[in-house]
Amino acid sequence: MRTYLVTGGAGFIGSNYIHYMFDRYDNDIRIINVDALTYAGNLENLSDIEKRDNYTFVKADICDREAIEKIFAENEIDRVVHFAAESHVDRSIRNPEVFVQTNVLGTQVMLNCAKAAWEQEDGSFKPDKKFLHVSTDEVYGSLDEGDTYFYETTPYDPHSPYSASKASSDMVVKAYIDTYGFPANITNCSNNYGAYQFPEKLIPLIINNTLQGKKLPVYGDGKNVRDWLYVMDHAKAIDMVCEKGKIGEKYNIGGHNEKQNIEIIKIIIDTIAEMLPDSDPRKAHVNYDLITYVTDRKGHDRRYAIAPDKIKKEIGWEPETMFADGIKLTIQWYFAHQDWMQHVTSGDYQKYYEEMYQ
């Protein structure tokens, strides 16, 4: 039975990935989830999983070398799937320091502990071990409008403190691959959307504000483009790269779903208007009047777009969920989980750990 050490599993993508893995492998795998439970970590995302015998939660900071070493000492880890990071561009503009701390130094701690556990006396690594570093397409910088794409060979050109910290962490992983032959892959994915996303990011923020009749803040002219990837398609891609990715390679993961921000916002308003019954009093305020143009983000990247050709050719993965379907599933999820949103926006979710794990 393989043991996975997942970092950041209480966050958005990490918790979806853990759900995906237990749905797919059930009792054939073990998962240890290590998460510091920052403002973005929410154990309610995993409340249906915490009683499983083959799941363990460890509250620890990835920068805490002793805590991470202890996990490796007590368990034979086969896969590290490294999600833990500070992930929000706007926060990185206000406070870059914690981004360098967690994203760069934390990644280095994870690499060092995995290397120490997996390296054999002759300098080779134990067989069938893999470290998968989850990164972003934002490391490649910004594209203009047109038909150019990010490829794995595109030079790094990060602009925000967030993307600079992720680019640095990718370089540290690459250094371990190149110097020690360390068994790692790097994946660079586009913007994810789906269930359990913290409502500071565009899609859950717009869904929540629309339902509450609050203004919908559009940065700049609203024509910045992101390439949206349904989070469950991403979870599947990560699993496939873990199993089939050639050691040392990097893979871009994208959704083939390029959209301007303003298009996304209008789709969300239209979809919510369709879903609400006429008798629902909220229906009266669900319209384009909520859209409010605000000051642009500093250094706002214009367009991200990924060509996921390599992962398709070498691994056989391609995105399965079209935006029109994924956004409906996502809005339906937020509709059905308004208590989750209420706990997150009120801060109540942070009490959950104390209650559950006291």
Residue type (1 letter), 15: S
Residues 148 and 154: their CA atoms lie apart, in Å, by 11
Which residue has the CB atom at the shortest distance from ligand NAD? 11
326 binds, options ligand NAD, ligand TYD, none, Cβ within 5 to 8 A by partner type: none
Report 155-184 residues binding ligand NAD (CB under 6 A): 166
Could you tell me which residues come within 8 angstroms of residue 146 by beta carbon, excluding any fewer than 6 positions away? none
State the number of binding residues for ligand NAD (CB under 6 A): 30
* Residue number, 181 or 217, with CB nearest to ligand TYD: 217
Does the protein bind ligand NAD through residue 192 (CB under 6 A)?
A: yes
User: x-or-dash pattern for ligand TYD, window 225-264, by CB under 6 A?
Assistant: -x----------------------------------x---
Does the protein bind ligand TYD through residue 89 (CB under 6 A)?
A: yes
**Measuring CA to CA, which residue among 202, 10, 195 is closest to residue 90?**
202
219 binds, options ligand NAD, ligand TYD, none, Cβ within 5 to 8 A by partner type: ligand TYD
**Measuring CA to CA, which residue among 113, 158, 112, 109 is closest to residue 135?**
158
**Measuring CA to CA, which residue among 213, 300, 316, 226 is closest to residue 262?**
226
Residues 233 and 86: their CA atoms lie apart, in Å, by 22
Strands (E), the chain: 2-7, 29-35, 55-59, 79-82, 130-136, 184-189, 192-193, 216-219, 225-227, 229-230, 250-253, 258-260, 291-294
Pick from 20, 55, 83, 353 the residue near ligand NAD by CB under 6 A: 83
Does the protein bind ligand NAD through residue 10 (CB under 6 A)?
A: yes
Instruction: Give the binding site for ligand TYD (CB under 6 A).
Output: 89, 191, 201-202, 205, 217-219, 224, 226, 261, 297
Instruction: Give the binding site for ligand NAD (CB under 6 A).
Output: 7-8, 10-14, 35-38, 40-41, 61-63, 83-87, 102, 106, 134, 136, 166, 189, 191-192, 198
